[in-house]
Amino acid sequence: MTAIAATGNATETPSFEYQKKGRWLTFWNPDNPEFWENGGAKTAKKNLYWSVFAENLGFSIWVIWGSIVTVMGLAGFAFMAKANPNAVSNALLLTSIPTLVGATLRVPYTFAVPRFGGRAFTAFSAAMLFIPTLGIMYFINQPTTPMWVFLLLASLAGFGGGNFSSSMSNISFFFPEGKKGAALGLNAAGGNLGVAQTQLIVPLLITLGTVIMAKDAAGYRFGITLAVAFWLPFILIATFGALRYMDSIADAKSDGKSYKLALTNRHTWVMSFLYIGTFGSFIGFSFAFPTLIKANFPDLAKIGWITTLGNLAFLGALVGSFSRPFGGWVSDKIGGGAKVTVYVFGAMSVAVAFIVLAVSLKSFPLYLISFLGLFVAAGVGNGSTYRMIPSIFNATAKKHASEHGLDLTEAAISAKRQAGAAIGVIGAIGAAGGFIVQQALRLSNVHLKTMVPAFWAYAVVFLVMAAVTWWFYLRTNFATDRAQSLAYASV
């Protein structure tokens, strides 16, 4: 039977039967309607569902330290105790390390799927989550464990952050061009929701642990152990399910040339800068939000139900995750993501100003509402910036083809490949922005004894990002190029 390339256009459709059990697919042609209807769609959806499940767990473990650090002082660790002046800075260090490691892993994880196959690498990346979880369960019950051991464990939690790139890369091969956007959007949203569910479930289980044992150091250690052990059966299911039910596409190969072209395109780096502002803010503040609430409003500890719900920190990631698809939708409605992105950065700057005001007024309701506004704006911005990338590469490729007399159809294909490669780079750099966000807060707290200067710096940077968006993508020349490329973009 003749193999069909994953991106090829076969004139003949080979026989294909859906199988529940996973396998190597020696041919795959989702862009052929007959192939898609005769088992292709069902196969793609099966892989998408398992991918979402595994990626969701990756995000859950990636962010788990954000909730753990808030009770480590109560669990008997002196470097996190309330009396320790460096407790907040230590907490921010522990929550920022997974962000940096996860961002770094996104690059090699992108290339791993074509090398090892989607089924094998999804199972491997899910199984790797056992390492940080089992490590936490052991060392959290050793009260003399030094800070550096927990830093190492926090870095291992970064495995979960790398899962995003391998998952997105894998799923992109399964769906036809006209359905990739929705599939990848669902995949990304499912992962992002892992942040919110962890920040809701972990505090609940920690509280349950103290009820079962006692509200002392040993009780909190048991609670943390229970909260981490909760994820183990799900990791096992994800690993087993990926091995048994997911598929690998034999002809799913990475395009090295497109990556080289994307890396030399200035728009890759401009969009990386902007994505630091949107996704970097979403992931950075998501990780830090539990610590920020505890540091600024310590009296909330006296309200039992609110501490049981993690001081409502899960709401930030929740609204940010659900607002992401809206960003792409509204960008389509108004003719592109650049306008939406400008408004997003303006809204984020205003939200930061209200956060500072809430701190000065010691108003938790205003603080929470302002942060939720920031998360909503960041989520919309995640969707709008991703929507900008293909439009930008289409516009620049059309201009280049017209100026050099190149074939427009070939240039369109090249633009799509470059956009896909650029998304991998932009995603990694944007995630690294989460580390920058948290480190700015930590350094401001260490050297200036307050985080307010860091917040004002964010407000200024967001305005700069709005100006950069306008300068590169809303001025007359580029807007005209983009408008003229819309028909070309559908080639």
CB 209 within 8 A of CB 225: yes
CATH superfamily of 255-491: MFS general substrate transporter like domains (1.20.1250.20)
Cβ-in-10-Å burial (0-12, 13-18, 19+) of 293 comes to buried
- Helices (H) then strands (E): counts for the chain: 22, 2
List the structure tokens of 202.
């972990």
CATH class of the structural domain 25-249: mainly alpha
CB neighbours (10 Å) of residue 491?
A: 15
The pLDDT assigned to 486 comes to 42
pLDDT single digits (tens) 387-413: 788 778 777 777 766 666 666 666 666
Q: Please, what's the largest Cα pairwise distance for the chain?
A: 76
Q: Please list, in sequence order, all residues whose beta carbon lies within 8 angstroms of the beta carbon of residue 117, skipping any fewer than 6 positions away.
A: 24, 248, 249, 252
Q: Is 246 left (phi over 0), alpha (psi -120 to 50) or beta?
A: beta
The pLDDT assigned to 168 comes to 81
Q: Is 336 left (phi over 0), alpha (psi -120 to 50) or beta?
A: left
The pLDDT assigned to 405 comes to 65
Q: Which of 48, 20, 24 is nearest to 167 (CA)?
A: 48
The pLDDT assigned to 401 comes to 67
Count of alpha carbons within 13 Å of 330, Cβ hemisphere only? 19
pLDDT single digits (tens) 210-264: 999 988 999 999 999 999 999 999 999 999 999 999 999 887 766 667 778 778 8
Q: Please list, in sequence order, all residues whose beta carbon lies within 8 angstroms of the beta carbon of residue 408, skipping any fewer than 6 positions away.
A: 398, 401, 488, 491
How far, in Å, are 208, 388, 407, 414, 415 from residue 410 at the CA level?
60, 21, 6, 6, 9
The pLDDT assigned to 182 comes to 73
The pLDDT assigned to 24 comes to 87
Q: Which residues pair with 248 in a beta bridge?
A: 24
Instruction: Say if 25-249 and 255-491 have the same CATH topology.
Output: yes
List the structure tokens of 183.
């599939």
Domains in the chain: boundaries: 25-249, 255-491
In whole angstroms, give the CA distance from residue 55 to residue 164. Answer: 6
In whole angstroms, give the CA distance from residue 307 to residue 340. Answer: 36
The pLDDT assigned to 414 comes to 67
Which residue, chain included where needed, has tokens 């289409």?
Answer: 394
CB 169 within 8 A of CB 424: yes
pLDDT single digits (tens) 201-215: 999 999 999 999 988
Tell me the pLDDT of the chain averaged across its residues. Answer: 85
CB 277 within 8 A of CB 345: yes
The pLDDT assigned to 58 comes to 94
Cα-only R_g, the chain: 23
Which residues, given as ranges, of the chain have pLDDT below 70?
Answer: 1-14, 177, 181, 253-256, 335, 400-417, 420, 476-491
DSSP secondary structure letters along 156-205? HTTHHHHHHHHHHHHHHHHS-HHHHHHHHHHHHHHHHHHHHHHHHHHHHH
CB neighbours (10 Å) of residue 45?
A: 14
Give residue 136's identity as a one-letter amino acid code: I
The pLDDT assigned to 408 comes to 63
In whole angstroms, give the CA distance from residue 428 to residue 439. Answer: 17
Three-state SS letters, 48-66: HHHHHHHHHHHHHHHCCHH
Count of alpha carbons within 13 Å of 412, Cβ hemisphere only? 11
The pLDDT assigned to 477 comes to 55
The pLDDT assigned to 483 comes to 44
CB 170 within 8 A of CB 58: no
How far, in Å, are 48, 145, 353, 474 from residue 63 at the CA level?
22, 21, 26, 36
The dihedral over CA atoms of 182, 186, 189, 193, expressed in degrees to the nearest 10, equals 160
List the structure tokens of 143.
């009260």
Can you tell me whether residue 248 is helix, strand or coil?
A: strand
In whole angstroms, give the CA distance from residue 331 to residue 320. Answer: 17
How far, in Å, are 68, 80, 156, 467 from residue 143 at the CA level?
14, 12, 20, 50
In whole angstroms, give the CA distance from residue 393 to residue 489. Answer: 9
Q: Which of 96, 79, 75 is nearest to 87 (CA)?
A: 79
Q: Which of 203, 353, 194, 364 is nearest to 282 (CA)?
A: 194
